[in-house]
Every structure is written in C-alpha cells, then in structure tokens.
Amino acid sequence: MSYKTRKFQLISGDLMPLIGFGTFQIRGQQLIKDVLNWALAAGYRAIDTAAVYGNESDIGLALKDLLPKYNLQREDLFITSKLSPSDQGDKACDAVAASIKNLQCDYLDLYLIHWPGASGVPTESEVNAKLRSASWQSLIKAKDEGLVRNIGVSNYTVRHLTELLNSSYGVKPAVNQVEWHPGCHQDDLKQLCVQEGILLQAYSSLGGTGNKNLIRDPTVINIALKLGKSPAQILLCWAVQQNIAIIPKARAKERIDANIDLDFVIAEEDMTALSNRKHERFAWDPTKVH
C-alpha cells in the first residue's frame, strides 16, 4: 500500500492517515485556500491545525468551498485541532466547541492537549499537572458528547504520558504528537507509545530553520542523491518507514506534492546513519514542565 493512502488504526478503531497536511504558521484566507486546494489535489486527507495557529476559521471557509470541488464529504477528511495552553483545565470542552465552530464542522476527528503546561504557570509548578489532568477529564466529556471522536496529547514526554496512563480516567490518548526527526527522537517514548497502542506523530520533521534545517545535513544530502529524492523527502520517509505519522507543511505546490510522494525505501544502513545524528531539539522543550 502506498504511504499516500496508508492509515493507522487508532485505539478507537478509527483510521487516521499516516501523512497529514500541517498548517502551522500558514495564515491568510487566500493562502490557506491555495495550500488546501493543492493538498487535496495531491491526495492529502488529513489536516492538522490548532487554536494557537490562528487559522481555524480560514480553514473552515476554505473547506466549505473545496470539498464539493473534489467530490468529498466531511467524513472523507481527518481533522485535528489542539487545546491552547491558555485553556488548560475545565475550559477544554468549551475550547473543542469553539474550534468546531471556527472550522464549520460538526465534530473533530482528533483533539490534542497541545502542551503539558499552562499559560502563566511556571514550568516547575505542580499546578501544571493538575490543570492538564482537568483538561483530560474535560476532553473525555467532549468525546462522550460526540464533539470529538478521538483525544490525545502533544509534546508529552515519557513522564507526562506515564502520569496520564496511570490515572484512573480509563481513556488512553490516541496520539502523541511530538518533535521527531533524526536529530530528536526518543526511543523510550516510541517504545511506550507502541506498547500502549498510541500513534506517535512527528512535527518539525525537517528540523529547525536556517542553518539548523536538516535538509542541509551532509548525511541527508548524500542519501537523497543516492535515491534521486529531495533531502526533505528523505527526512519524511525516515519517519513513515518507522510507522511514525507526519504532518509536513508547505506553501508551494511542488513541495506539497513532493511531501506526500514517499513511495521509496531507505536502506537499513542509511536509516541507522540518519538515526545516529547528534541529538538536537529545535522546537519547544517540554522536559522541564512539571
């Protein structure tokens, strides 16, 4: 089966595309409509956004016009959004409803706690744990009410995830979305997710920006030349070849097309060479959040 159409069965039994379209830092009504138009044409059927991205309303407007164009129904898409750190706690269910209204849909396929901490709360404070616990209970309520089909987390470390799994709430997260690329991958976190049936989903697959972007890494470039692919395709394939979901973002049509065209195999020795890269985190660091 092609990676373009490959899906992962979540704990609920729902199927989630392994490759989704990320919308972080993509704003503006026309730009959103353009990139989603190209993404749907290329075969993407999962869209990832968040309350803090500030683009939910523009995505909702775009999909209202684009779904008929591609003869698609709402149920043909898998839509994810995320809880703002400012809404941690009992307000989480209301935040789900607000995202649904912005996106002009009746439900969300997946809703994630975006960050283990809360806005305005020191990272070392025990209040963070209490608020994310309240958020989870509120999201269980949203799930029970049919607002969201699956709930999960983002930026959770082994410690945060174990804390949640050891709670008495009885609902496991379906997904843990984290920074994941050859320079930042935690084998213990992956092992825990596989053990618990939780889909590990990568963001920042290409690393950082500027000189820290991994598409400039000599190992990545050499493997790309060997396979006749772009460095970005190598980095994305490195993840999906390990059954890790990805949500690459792009503004240009050719890159949107290339990011989902990953039907090739990276040799085991090259996979190892990529994985052995020096560890370097480029995005938020959740390890210090209590």
Question: How far apart are alpha carbons 224 and 230 in whole angstroms?
Answer: 5
**181 in a labelled binding site:** no
Q: How many residues comprise the chain?
A: 290
Determine whether 53 is an active site residue: yes
Record the tokens describing residue 122, joined without a space.
Answer: 């020191």
Output the CA–CA distances (angstroms, integers) from residue 144 to 93, 127, 140, 141, in the order listed.
11, 26, 6, 5
- Please give, one letter per residue, the 3-state secondary structure of the chain: CCCCCCEEECCCCCEEECECEECCCCCCHHHHHHHHHHHHHHCCCEEECCHHHCCHHHHHHHHHHHHHHCCCCHHHCEEEEEECHHHCCCCHHHHHHHHHHHHCCCCECEEEECCCCCCCCCCCCCHHHHHHHHHHHHHHHHHHCCCECCEEEECCCHHHHHHHHCCCCCCCCCEEEEECECCECCHHHHHHHHHHCCEEEEECCCECCHHHEHHHCHHHHHHHHHHCCCHHHHHHHHHHCCCCEECCCCCCHHHHHHHCCCCCCCCHHHHHHHHCCCCCCCCCCHHHCC
Catalytic residue selected from 53, 111, 156, 203 = 53
Question: How far apart are alpha carbons 100 and 107 in whole angstroms?
Answer: 6
Q: Per the annotation, where are the binding residues?
A: 114
Which residues are tagged catalytic?
53
Q: Per the annotation, where are the binding residues for substrate?
A: 114
